[in-house]
Amino acid sequence: MKTNTEEMSRFLSRGLVDALRSLGIDAEFRPRNDVEVEGRKISGMGGTEMENAFLFQGTLLTTCDLQAMLHALRIPIKKLSDKEIESVHDRITTMEWELGQLPDLSRVKKALIDAFSKALCANFVQRDLSDLELSLLSEKLPRFHSPEWIFRERRPLDKVNEMHASRKTPGGIVHIALTIDRGLIENILITGDFFAYPRRAITDLEASLKFTPARAESIREIVAAFLKDNDVQLPGIDVDALMKVFSETLEKTTYTDLGLDRGEVNDIYIVNTSLRGALEKGFDTILVPYCCKSLSCGFRNHVECGICGGCDASPLYELGSQQGLRVLTIIDYEHLKEVLSKLDEWGSKGYLGACCEAWYEKHHLDLEMFKTSGVLVEIDSNSCYDLGMEKIAHQGKYENQTNLDLDVMVKILCISQSMGKAVKQEIHQTN
């Protein structure tokens, strides 16, 4: 038996759709496997088959603590801003949100039974579990209650990739997060502060991309056709702009081959190159944000460092001294532009620095105006953007101390040195 899962989902969703409508909720099926209310998801369904059996199951959102859900579910979302959380809120709904109160669950169950009975042309008979079923339940339950089952890894981690990337476009910031499983897009979330018409365009685009090949050419074809066929308007954002974010996200799936784990890859931002290209070319400059220096340090607003060991700047200055790297503290935003201009003049190989995700999203286009390539590692603490102090931070007046992810920064330098030696050896052998 070969089942068309989308058609099966559409057929089996009729019971749920009719049940919700009988309760006063105007629900409808959305391909491939969701039930929605005015473009907001209220149910997800799925099925699988084995030999001559087909198993179908679904969920129904009755009520929801959105903040708790986002923290509990393992979905590809990282550090959602309030605006992005609001965006997620616009994508889902619950029975309680639609009706103003949660109906009695016995009433919900009866509505489901009646609707599925009619949709499937079948009579449901309520009964207790049989002796055989009770015996199997008693036998199987301890396993499913065990920590080994609950916390197990269902597949080796190297077969599942969760990656995300963001870019600023003329229409706003676009953030794309993908879960890729065995070459297919398993989960996708597109968020940001851009506008999309019609309202459900992005959720429908996400649905059209699920379970399709995680390849740039395939994604481009689907995105272009979807925007054209559905007359979608994304002011200031075209297919090329979307594909830049998709391509950056997909590219990150290859970076684990370089010796970085997935968490580290997602905390790295690339300027004017690929990560592999930056590592092979190497770095001659380390840029240190002034905010990582101690508030009481006399060098906090100076390009140099006293190397007192009292903050995260000291190890980088020591490392730079040992390896012959130029290390500079960036005092404010204007100073950063001056330094990048100097690096262009000097013909710098590249720089390694640190910033927060929000800063990168806002300024990556500014960085790309300079020729020098760079790798930025995300700051490992609350940033000025988290605290709403980005304006004074740009002026060099931020009165908090941040932490750098020194382990990742040092790891990148070590990998770069190893790759540089390998490239030199290959060139030497070729000659």
Question: Does the predicted model carry a pTM greater than 0.85?
Answer: no
Q: What is the CATH number of the domain that holds 178?
A: 3.30.390.50
Amino acid at 35: V
Rounded mean pLDDT of 344-355? 96
Would you say 184 and 268 are in contact if contact means Cβ atoms under 8 Å apart? no
pLDDT, greater one: 425 or 87 = 87
Rounded mean pLDDT of 380-390? 69
Percent share of the chain, pLDDT over 70 = 87
pLDDT above 60 for 43? yes
> What DSSP element (H or E) covers 144?
helix 131-145
- List CB contacts of 362: < 8 A, sequence separation 6 or more: 168, 173
Residue 35: inside a domain = yes
Residue 205: inside a domain = yes
Return the residue matching tokens 């459900």: 200
Structural domain of 357: 259-430
Rounded mean pLDDT of 101-111? 94
Residue 142: inside a domain = no
Amino acid at 157: L
Number of structural domains (the chain) is: 3
Q: What sign does the dihedral 250-254-255-261 (CA atoms) show?
A: positive
Residue 139: inside a domain = no
Question: Based on the domain organization, do 246 and 264 belong to the same domain?
Answer: no
pLDDT above 80 for 221? yes
pLDDT recorded at residue 74: 53
Residue 181: inside a domain = yes
376: left (phi over 0), alpha (psi -120 to 50) or beta: beta
Question: Based on the domain organization, do 107 and 180 belong to the same domain?
Answer: no
pLDDT, greater one: 143 or 430 = 143
